[in-house]
Every structure is written in structure tokens, then in C-alpha cells.
């Protein structure tokens, strides 16, 4: 025990120790509460209007206000400090297979379900619905990321479930309901249900064709008995799961509910919960299926093709999640720097700190623009072939790059708070632990880059759509024009001789190519929708080579001063 702690632990009548105890905290930033996450983010706000989601402004703004309150911020901390608890058996030894969550988890879930984050584009069949939902998700993830896992899976499952129209007809009304009911009961007894996903097994997650779980058909029906396991199965209290299992015709997609059609507990046994780096509010489990009852979804033997529709939507959510984590980290860093003084000035007035913050802001802005453009392509793809092709390739490119940038970005933002950033109460440690996850699940980095190659090689329309997109800013900046011309040559050349896919040089360079595609997309969007200063700084630093390997290495001639001031001003104005 040091002398100073001894002083505090053992009250004495010595006047100096009284003074130590009563000293007020000096030079500390006030907590960032009572601000509107949406109104303080002009880039997101403009994207909502631009992409046709203006009709949802009021709802988005109201959620932005709620999530910035001290109360809602507390839900996020409580849900992560009080991890979910698994009860495998009851007191008599019967299987229970239930996970108990903190009340704050339920509050977060209820808020998201009532705001239709799990259903909006399926319910509101109008222009901008995906963008509206993306904005809502972006705000929610900034407050608490863990609970968005079941929200995202429920939303995404609808896309795959529709491959089995009769099943979709029965389940969709409950899935799309805005009623959150955490009760562990058959779906028929609940006003609303949630869905999860089970693909990853012990021997392989990326390579799902190695799945060993078996599904045996019951008579001539489309019902099966499933035996096997899943090594990762998040949110096991969902009401049903889309899983992959081997049938007589190969890997197939099945809907496996927690309760059988006869109203009995399905033989879905939760073995244990994962002890994870982050994402702690959410339960991720290992499960065994012991002759569990399930229903086929889509064509037997074409399970990957069926479930990929779900995966594409969860990949969109990974990009939203990445943009959200970067935005929240940036906001916290700027807020701190606006209040903390060092060496006679506010941190935000220190030239080197301005460089770091401006660089982080550039990255965050680029991420928000790209995720909004991607969400818009999900809206537009229904009636537009080019948008469909763009959506296909851009999902993979954006998922890879935004998720790769997040841990570096959040780590740097954390350091802007100094020691305070390393302390849980600041939220930065939670963001930092969450940061690598979006890159791992729904296709890890390498797998996504190989998917980019696959799309380029097998779907030539995706090359044309990508090039078309990159040319929407043609003529605005010579450096970007040159960069795009080189990319176009590379894509067309390789696509023509078929060398983009397969083993060898193309695979070896898949990350490098994907990164270039992402940077070109970022720059194009910056030129079209960002301020001219931002676009110039982004292109010079990210495409023009005027940048180091770390954040905070923008060259001095770049005028991004106004950017930080307006960021700070919009935070202050929306409190």
C-alpha cells in the first residue's frame, strides 16, 4: 500500500489528508451524454435524405436522441458488465438449455425490435427502407453492439427463409412483428420471434462444405431429424435457427426451432457459452443437436446457395457495424480533446492532435458514405440489374475494408483519451474489443477477398457495375482518374484471360486488389458527397501517397481544420 492510499484508507484528522479527499477533479472532460447521435452526424443525415430515406427522419432522430441519454448508455454498460448465464439443467437434472440475460439486454432488444431494426425493409416496401434501417443500426451499434447480433440475424434470415414459401408464410408474421417477447416458449405462444444461424462446426467455419452434421428425412415429408453440432451458435435464445446439415443429397439448409411442431422442447442442447474477447452482452454458444426436429428450406443439397441470401444481409450489417464503431470512437475522441488541456492548450488546439483527429474523421466519414451507398444498392437492386451487380461486389469489398480499418481506427481514437481511454467507463475498451469481430464472422478477411475474386471472375456484370460506379466522379480529380484507369485495365485484363480466380498470383494478391477497389470507391463517394476539403485530403493521403502508415500523418498543406471545428460544433449543438 502506498503512502497516499494509506492516507485515504485510514481517515485521520490531519488537514492535508482531508484536502486530498475533497479535491475536485480538474481538467477532466464531462461525460458525453444527452446528445443526439443522428443530428450530430451530418454525413449520415445527408445520406438518409440523398438515398430516399427522408420519410424515416423523425424515427431515426428520435432513436438518436434516446440512445444519447444517460439511461440508454447505462443499458449498454450494464448488459456488458453482467454477462449472460447458461443454465444447462434444472435442479432435478432435466435439460433446461436456457440463457438468462440482464434486464438491460432485454431493454436494448426491446428498443431495437420496436424500432423495427430486424424488419424495416421487409415491412416498409418503399424506396430508402434499407438506408433507413442502416441509419438506425448505425446509431444503435454505437450505443451497444452485442445485441445487434440477433437483430441482424433475424433481419437477414427472412431473405433465405423465403426460399420455402409455405414456411415463410407461417413464420414471417411473427418475425416481422414489432413485439419483443423473451419468453422461452413455442413460437405459437409468442407475439414476436427471433432467428439465429448455425453454420460453423469444430472442423471448419469458412469451409462449410466440411460440415458433418447429418439430417435424416422423416418419411416423404420436408421434415428432418438432425444429429450433430455447431461450434459457434450466437444468441441461442432465438426461437429458431437456419442451419446447414448434410442430407442424402448433400449440404442443405434447414429451419431448426427451439420447440417442435408438437410443442415439445427440441433437442437443441447448449453445451457451454464462449468466453469471448468482446461482444460480452451477447451469448455465443456451442450446441449439440440430438435428433432435433427441423424443416427443409429451399432445394435439398443446395444449402449454401439458400443460406447465402442470409449471409449477404449480415455482411451488410458488418459494414454498418464497422462504420458505427469508428464513428463512436471518433466522437468520443473529439469530445475529449475539446475539453482536456495539456501544455497550456486544449488538446483539440494542439496541431499534432488535430492531425490525428482529422485523419480519424476522414476514415470515419469515408466509412459512413460507403456503408450508406451499399445500403442504397440493397434498396435499388430489386428492379435494377446494374445495382444488383454492384451490390454483389460492393458488399464483399466494403465488408473487407471497413472491418479491417476498424480495430486500427478505434485503437488510435482510444489513445486520444490517454489513460482514460484504457478504462472501461470511457466505452473505448468495449469498442476496441468489439472492433475485430465484424471482420471474423460472416466470412473472415481472406475468405471475403476470395469472394471478391469469385464475383469478378464469375459475374462479369459486377466488373461493369463497379467500373460504372467509379466513373461517376470521372473528371473531378486527375489522381482518381488515373487510379481508376489502372484498376479498370487490371480488372478487364484479368477477367478476359480468366486469371482472377483460382490458385496462384490472383489469390495471393486478393487483399491488395480488394483494398484498392475500396479506396477507389471511398474516393469516388468523397468527391460526390463530401466537402471538397475532405475529398482532397482523402485522395492525397489514401491514393496519392501523402500519408504515413499510422493515423495522424496528413501533410501540413491539407486544410481539414474546418472539419474538426464543425464536428465539435455539431456535437455541442445537438446536446
Ligand X SMILES: Cc1cc2nc3c(=O)[nH]c(=O)nc-3n(C[C@H](O)[C@H](O)[C@H](O)COP(=O)(O)OP(=O)(O)OC[C@H]3O[C@@H](n4cnc5c(N)ncnc54)[C@H](O)[C@@H]3O)c2cc1C
Residues that bind ligand X (CB under 6 A): 196-200, 204-207, 232-234, 276, 279, 284, 437, 440-441, 444-447, 450
In degrees, rounded to 5, the angle at the alpha carbon of residue 172 between the alpha carbons of residues 171 and 176 is 130
Positive or negative, the CA dihedral 359, 365, 368, 374 is: negative
Other CB atoms within 10 A of residue 24 CB: 5
Q: How far is the CB of 229 from ligand X (least distance, A)?
A: 11
Pairwise CA distance, residues 156 & 119, whole Å? 9
Nearer Cβ to ligand X, position 450 or 564?
A: 450
DSSP conformation letters of 112-153 = HHHTTTTTHHHH--STTHHHHHHHHHHHHHHH-STTHHHHHH
Task: Please say which residue, 199 or 360, places its beta carbon nearer to ligand X.
Answer: 199
Nearer to ligand X, 7 or 271 (CB): 271
Cβ neighbours, 10 Å, residue 285: 25
> Which lies closer to ligand X via its Cβ, residue 292 or residue 437?
437
Residue pointed to by grid coordinates 438468462: 100
Measured between alpha carbons, how far apart are the two ends of the chain, in Å? 42
Query: Closer CB to ligand X, residue 355 or residue 395?
Result: 395
Please, what is the minimum distance in Å from the beta carbon of residue 403 to ligand X? 12
Beta carbon of residue 245, minimum distance to ligand X (angstroms, whole number):
12
CA distance 488 to 482: 10
Closest CA to 347 of 276, 418, 252: 418
CB of 248 to ligand X, least distance (A): 23
* Backbone angle region of 298, left / alpha / beta, with phi > 0 → left and psi within -120 to 50 → alpha: left
- Measured from the CB atom, the residue of 268 and 441 that comes closer to ligand X is 441
Closest distance of CB 341 from ligand X, Å: 40
Least Å distance, CB 63 to ligand X, is 25
Between 396 and 437, whose beta carbon lies closer to ligand X? 437
Q: How far is CA 343 from the centre of its chain?
A: 38
Distance of CA 464 to the CA centre of its chain: 28
CA distances from 542 to 315, 320, 523 (A): 24, 21, 9
Residue 242 forms beta bridges with which residues?
Answer: 197, 255
The DSSP code for 15 is H
Cell numbers found for residue 418: 490517454
Closest to ligand X by CB, 188 or 207: 207
Nearest to 220, CA basis, from 248, 243, 184, 195: 248
- Whole-number Cα distances in Å, 572 to 331, 416, 478, 530, 569: 11, 19, 37, 21, 5
Q: Is the dihedral of CA 348, 354, 356, 358 positive or negative?
A: positive
Q: How far is the CB of 434 from ligand X (least distance, A)?
A: 10
Instruction: Tell me the C-alpha to C-alpha distance, in Å, between residue 541 and each of 165, 474, 478, 552.
Output: 50, 19, 14, 11
Cβ 233 to ligand X shortest distance, Å: 5
* Minimum distance from residue 69 beta carbon to ligand X (Å): 28
In the complex, what is the shortest distance from the CB of residue 244 to ligand X, in angstroms, rounded to a whole number?
8
Instruction: Give the phi and the psi of residue 217 in degrees, each rounded to 5.
Output: -65, 140
448 versus 567: smaller Cβ distance to ligand X: 448
Which of 118, 335 has the CB closer to ligand X?
118
Q: Which residue is nearest to ligand X (CB)?
A: 205
Q: Which is nearer to ligand X, 194 or 360 (CB)?
A: 194
| Strand partners of residue 240 | 195, 257
What angle, 0 to 180 degrees and rounded to 10, lies between the N-to-C axes of helices 385-416 and 351-380? 160
Minimum separation from the CB atom of position 119 to ligand X (A)? 19
61 vs 80 by CB, closer to ligand X: 80
Nearest residue (CB) to ligand X, 144 versus 365: 144
Nearer to ligand X, 447 or 461 (CB): 447
CA-CA-CA-CA torsion sign (273, 277, 283, 289): negative
* Shortest Cβ 481–ligand X spacing (Å): 33
Cβ of residue 276: shortest distance to ligand X, in angstroms?
Answer: 5
* Cα–Cα distance for residue pair 226/258, rounded to 1 Å: 13
Q: In angstroms, what is the minimal distance from the CB of 435 to ligand X? A: 13
Please list, in sequence order, all residues whose beta carbon lies within 8 angstroms of the beta carbon of residue 207, skipping any fewer than 6 positions away: none
Nearest to 212 by CA among 225, 223, 226: 226
Amino acid at each position: 500500500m502506498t503512502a497516499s492510499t494509506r492516507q485515504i484508507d485510514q481517515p485521520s484528522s490531519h488537514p492535508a489528508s482531508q484536502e486530498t479527499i475533497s479535491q475536485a477533479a480538474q481538467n477532466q472532460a464531462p461525460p458525453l451524454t444527452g446528445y443526439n447521435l443522428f443530428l450530430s452526424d451530418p454525413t449520415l443525415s445527408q445520406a438518409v435524405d440523398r438515398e430516399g430515406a427522408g420519410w424515416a427522419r423523425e424515427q431515426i432522430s428520435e432513436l438518436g436522441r434516446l440512445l444519447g441519454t444517460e439511461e440508454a448508455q447505462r443499458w449498454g454498460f450494464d448488459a456488458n458488465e453482467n454477462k449472460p448465464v447458461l443454465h444447462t439443467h434444472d435442479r432435478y437434472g432435466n435439460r433446461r438449455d436456457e440463457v438468462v440475460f440482464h434486464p438491460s439486454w432485454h431493454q436494448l432488444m426491446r428498443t431495437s425490435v420496436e424500432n423495427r431494426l430486424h424488419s424495416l425493409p421487409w415491412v416498409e416496401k418503399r424506396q430508402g427502407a434499407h438506408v433507413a434501417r442502416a441509419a438506425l443500426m448505425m446509431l444503435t451499434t454505437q450505443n451497444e453492439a452485442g445485441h445487434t447480433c440477433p437483430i441482424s440475424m433475424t433481419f437477414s434470415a427472412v431473405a433465405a427463409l423465403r426460399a420455402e414459401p409455405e414456411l415463410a408464410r407461417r413464420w414471417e408474421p411473427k418475425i416481422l412483428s414489432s413485439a419483443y417477447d423473451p419468453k422461452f416458449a413455442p413460437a405459437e405462444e409468442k407475439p414476436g420471434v427471433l432467428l439465429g444461424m448455425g453454420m460453423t462446426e469444430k472442423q471448419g467455419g469458412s469451409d462449410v462444405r466440411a460440415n458433418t452434421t447429418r439430417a435424416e428425412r422423416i418419411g416423404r415429408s420436408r421434415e428432418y431429424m438432425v444429429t450433430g453440432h455447431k461450434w459457434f451458435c450466437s444468441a441461442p435464445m432465438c426461437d429458431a435457427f437456419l442451419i446447414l446439415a448434410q442430407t442424402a443429397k448433400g449440404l442443405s439448409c434447414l429451419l431448426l426451432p427451439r420447440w417442435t411442431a408438437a410443442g415439445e422442447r427440441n433437442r437443441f442442447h447448449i453445451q457451454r457459452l464462449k468466453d469471448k474477447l468482446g461482444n460480452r452482452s451477447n451469448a455465443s454458444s456451442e450446441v449439440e443437436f440430438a435428433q432435433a426436429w427441423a424443416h427443409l428450406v429451399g432445394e435439398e443439397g443446395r444449402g449454401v446457395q439458400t443460406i447465402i441470401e442470409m449471409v449477404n444481409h449480415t455482411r451488410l450489417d458488418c459494414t454498418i457495424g464497422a462504420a458505427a464503431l469508428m464513428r463512436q470512437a471518433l466522437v468520443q475522441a473529439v469530445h475529449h480533446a475539446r475539453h482536456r488541456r495539456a501544455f497550456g492548450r486544449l488538446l483539440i488546439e494542439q496541431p499534432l492532435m488535430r492531425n490525428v483527429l482529422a485523419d480519424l474523421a476522414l476514415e470515419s466519414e469515408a466509412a459512413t458514405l460507403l456503408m450508406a451507398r451499399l445500403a442504397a444498392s440493397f434498396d435499388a437492386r430489386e428492379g435494377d440489374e446494374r445495382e444488383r451487380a454492384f451490390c454483389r461486389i460492393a458488399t464483399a469489398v466494403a465488408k473487407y475494408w471497413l472491418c479491417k480499418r476498424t480495430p486500427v481506427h478505434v485503437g488510435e481514437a482510444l489513445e486520444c483519451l490517454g489513460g482514460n481511454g484504457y478504462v472501461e467507463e470511457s466505452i473505448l475498451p468495449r469498442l476496441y474489443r468489439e472492433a475485430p469481430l465484424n471482420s471474423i464472422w460472416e466470412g473472415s478477411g481472406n475468405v471475403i477477398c476470395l469472394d471478391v475474386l469469385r464475383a469478378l471472375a464469375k459475374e462479369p456484370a459486377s466488373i461493369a457495375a463497379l467500373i460504372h460506379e467509379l466513373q461517376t466522379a470521372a473528371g473531378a480529380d486527375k489522381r482518381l482518374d488515373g487510379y481508376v484507369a489502372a484498376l479498370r485495365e487490371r480488372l478487364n485484363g484479368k477477367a478476359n484471360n480468366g486469371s482472377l480466380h483460382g490458385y496462384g498470383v490472383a489469390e495471393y494478391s486478393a487483399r491488395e486488389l480488394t483494398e484498392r477497389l475500396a479506396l477507389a470507391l471511398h474516393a469516388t463517394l468523397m468527391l460526390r458527397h463530401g466537402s471538397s476539403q475532405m475529398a482532397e485530403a482523402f485522395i492525397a493521403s489514401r491514393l496519392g501517397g501523402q500519408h504515413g502508415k499510422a493515423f495522424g500523418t496528413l501533410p501540413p498543406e491539407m486544410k481539414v481544420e474546418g472539419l474538426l471545428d464543425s464536428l465539435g460544433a455539431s456535437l455541442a449543438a445537438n446536446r
